[in-house]
Amino acid sequence: MTRACAMKQLNGKTYRCFFELALAVMGGKWKPIVLYHLGHAGVLRFGELKRDMPEVTDRMLTRQLRELEADGLIHREVYRQVPPKVEYSLTAQGLGLFPILCAMRDWGSDYEAWRGGAEVLREGEAEPREARSLHPRYSGPAGA
């Protein structure tokens, strides 16, 4: 007989198990993609993220960035200048998700190959089969 886990709440997120909490924090269509891009790039501005994800609306990207910041997965650095400059990067907690995101990416690559490849719907740069590495910003004492 399996017992149901207790219902818990943390920072406005209600969940029964740690898996549910993990999905509540980093799940959805856009959050993992944002985290993955930041892991590779080190630091990105809003426009750079938008360029890498052309299908996301400005409103949705703004919302996802705010949620990731509130949950402590990304850092938002505001530079007081004209015009204003805002940069996003992973926190140590966000960095902990990077190996999981890379494993998901690798699974997607394997799945595409297993299904016989994909039909290209729009011309663009082909994604390499091998995963890109973590940005050097996150290695060493500052990123450890």
Cα distances (angstroms) measured from residue 56 to each of 1, 31, 63, 108, 133: 44, 11, 11, 20, 24
Per-residue pLDDT for 68 more than 90? yes
Q: What is the pLDDT of residues 4-15, one digit of tens each?
A: 788 999 988 889
- Joined together, the tokens standing for residue 113 give 């190959």
Per-residue pLDDT for 46 more than 60? yes
Q: Which pLDDT band holds residue 2 (cuts at 50, 70, 90)?
A: low
Task: Please report how many Cα atoms fall inside a 13 Å half-sphere around the Cα of residue 46, on the Cβ side.
Answer: 16
Residues 6 or more apart whose Cβ sits within 8 Å of residue 134: 39, 40, 98
Q: Which pLDDT band holds residue 131 (cuts at 50, 70, 90)?
A: low
Identify the pLDDT of residue 29: 92
Buried-exposed string 104-119: b where 16+ CB fall within 10 A, e elsewhere: eeeeeeeeeeeeeeee
Q: What is the pLDDT of residues 92-114, one digit of tens each?
A: 999 999 999 999 999 998 898 89
Q: What is the pTM of this model?
A: 0.85
What is the DSSP secondary structure assignment for residue 15, as one 8-state letter?
Answer: E
How far, in Å, CA of 51 to CA of 87, rounded? 15
Asked which of 64-73, 82-91, 111-120 is least confident by mean pLDDT, the reply is: 111-120
